[in-house]
């Protein structure tokens, strides 16, 4: 899609409207092979988002501490690991 935008800007240097670019509707004209990298990237980002939201929601259900509770748990784990390394 970036290539499309670049070529569109080269062909239409005076156009400042984003709406005109979107009206070109390049996505509909792409083949499934051309769409595949974008679909894969979207799936990866969605998986990352789902994982992050699950961790966030887990922290929220822990008594209202939210992300601070998750951060505190992570800090405690790091401190425990450091203490374990020092005792070796």
Taking the chain, what is the end-to-end CA distance rounded to the nearest angstrom? 54
pLDDT at 23: 58
pLDDT digits (tens), the chain, 88 positions:
677 777 877 887 777 776 666 655 677 788 999 989 999 999 999 999 999 999 999 988 865 554 555 556 666 666 655 555 444 4
Every domain of the chain and the residues it spans? 1-30, 42-88
Q: Show Cβ contacts of residue 73 under 8 Å, excluding neighbours closer than 6 positions.
A: none
| pTM for the predicted model, two decimal places | 0.44
Q: Are 27 and 35 in contact (CB under 8 A)?
A: yes
């Amino acid at each position: 899609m970036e290539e499309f935008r670049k070529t569109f800007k080269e062909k239409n240097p005076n156009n400042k409207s984003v709406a005109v670019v979107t009206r070109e509707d390049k996505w509909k004209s792409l083949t499934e092979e051309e769409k595949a990298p974008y679909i894969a990237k979207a799936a990866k980002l969605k998986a990352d988002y789902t994982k992050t939201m699950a961790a966030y929601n887990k922290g929220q259900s822990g008594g209202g501490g939210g992300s601070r509770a998750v951060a505190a748990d992570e800090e405690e784990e790091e401190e425990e690991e450091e203490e374990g390394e020092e005792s070796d």
